[in-house]
Structure 1
Amino acid sequence: MEIINFSNGAVTSKEELRELVGFPHEHVIKKEISIIDEHCKKFISMSPLFFLSTSNAEGRCDVSPRGDRPNGIKILNDHQLVIPVRPGNKRVDSLMNILENPHAGLVFLIPGLDEVLRINGRATVITNEELLDDMGGKAPFIGIGLDVEECFIHCSRALLKSKIWSPDTWQDKESLPSGLDIFLAHLSINGVEIKK
């Protein structure tokens, strides 16, 4: 398969991009706030799933899904929150990125709701037991402290168009990709063979 050179015909300036897409309405700009207000607190408290976006010093990005019980995020005040880091596969890509580049983005989802809450800020890997206590279940030994810089509700278009919450659009389970098959195939590409 031929490799495409994306630089041919690429948009290379902000001015060119604005000529193509135009400018956002004033309301779209002014919906952004710099505090965790009562609406954001309620949204976060009801969200069992969010996505954490980070990048390292070179700009290499990572987006990590994080699932926990609703109310699993500790909101310290109007400007700070704490995310528990639960035991996982020990790759800790997000944490390694935060050590190099503290900028992080979060997207919170609530099942059945088409809008999402976006929060951006500066992240710190923390081990402060007092901050990590009382987060539901066993207290994590490590977490992410976030100094919030931007909060805003994101429009429902993507989730509405995808019909993600409509069971009648879901594929039959038998036709879905197998996580195990993908995992084993990717190991095989890297020369590791494991029998099922």
Structure 2
Amino acid sequence: MGPNGNGAGPRFHNVITTEAELRAVIGEASDLVWNKVIAQVDDHCRQFIAKSPFLLIASSDSSGILDVSPKGDPAGFVKVLDDHTLVIPDRLGNRRVDTFRNVLQNPNVGLIFLVPGRRDTLRISGKARIVRDASLLATMAIKGRAPDLALVLHVERALFHCAKSVIRSSLWDPAGWPDATGVSSPAESLLAHARPEGSVADMQKLIDDDIRERLY
């Protein structure tokens, strides 16, 4: 932790440390922006969730160490049980269960839903629990296999986020996508970071086998 806090270190100057300082630079948000936050999942949110095949979920442990994990399935994979309850199935993964381990310590999580082609995103936050309700899990089976666990979220806040970040990034516009040539493959980065025995080819086979055999 640097002398300016937040790990900034001595090489940064004019570090913002109060909201008053922040507002002096950014200004005040409009009433419209503040008032768009609601405390439940309404029909507009339901429609967006029903078309979303991908979300990001943020969580932290009791010490504040953060994690953001992706979740993806066919569009509408997140079930809306009622105005305050979402259910996210847990498919086969790497068994790190980072989100689940965090939720056991700190139930507060945040979600961002994306819909391909849509420029806006949906942000939802609340408190999560891990459940093994067999009747609920059976409703989320794919290819005859139900998830072993699900994350149930009690919704406390929901808001739609404006389109600017998606527009600036050309997220859905192939003409704006960067050339990824030269970026390490998943096998190369796994070999460099985990340092297992074996070659890049061995790691690639491990990845390919896992995707083929453990997608559902």
Q: Deviations over 1:78-101 (max 9, x none)?
A: 110110011100000000000000
Counterpart of 1:58, as a letter, is: S
1:158 aligns with 2:165: yes
Shift of 1:179: 1.4
Aligned 8 A contact 2:141 2:147 in 1: no
> In the alignment, is the contact (CA less than 8 A) between 1:72 and 1:136 conserved in 2?
no
Partner of 1:54 in structure 2? 59
How far off its partner does 1:169 sit?
1.9
Instruction: State the distance in 2 between where 1:136 and 1:19 align.
Output: 51
Matched-pair contact (CA < 8 Å) for 1:120–1:149: yes
Note the C-alpha offset of 1:173.
5.3
1:20 to partner: Cα distance: 2.0
Indicate whether 1:5 and 2:12 are aligned.
Answer: no
List alignment gaps of at least 5 residues for structure 2.
1-6, 201-216
**TM-score, L = length of structure 1:** 0.91
The partner residue of 1:118 within 110, 113, 123 is 123
- The answer for the alignment partner of 1:39 in structure 2 is 44
- Distance in 1 (CA, whole Å) between partners of 2:117 and 2:94 is 29
Distance in 2 (alpha carbons) for counterparts of 1:168 and 1:180: 27
Alpha-carbon separation, structure 2, partners of 1:23 and 1:33: 20
Q: 1:168 aligns with which of 151, 155, 175?
A: 175
What is the identity, as a one-letter code, of the residue corresponding to 2:66? C
TM-score by length of 2: 0.83
- Give the conservation status (yes or no) of the 8 Å contact 1:47–1:71: yes
Gapped runs of 5+ residues in structure 1? Answer: none
1:89 paired to 2:94 = yes
Candidates 105, 112, 129, aligned match of 1:107 = 112
d(CA) in 2 for partners of 1:185, 1:158: 32
**Residue correspondences, number:** 191
CA contact (8 A) 1:35 1:149 kept: yes
Distance 1:25 1:139, change over 3 A: same
State the 1:8 CA deviation: 4.7
| Structure 2 CA distance for aligned equivalents of residues 167 and 135 of structure 1 | 32
Q: Secondary structure at the match of 1:104?
A: strand
Structure 2 letter corresponding to 1:32:
V
Q: Contact 1:82/1:132 (CA < 8 Å) preserved in 2?
A: no
How big is each residue's C-alpha offset from its partner over 1:22-79, in whole Å with a ceiling of 9 and x where there is no partner? 2111010111111111111110010000000000001110000111111111111011
1:185, distance to aligned residue in structure 2 (A): 1.1
The answer to whether residue 153 in structure 2 is matched with residue 149 in structure 1 is no
CA RMSD of the aligned region, Å?
Answer: 1.7
Question: 1:133 matched to which residue of 2?
Answer: 138
Kept in 1, the 8 Å contact 2:38–2:158? The answer is yes
The equivalent position to 1:18 in structure 2, one of 13, 19, 23, is: 23
Deviates more, 1:161-170 or 1:148-157: 161-170
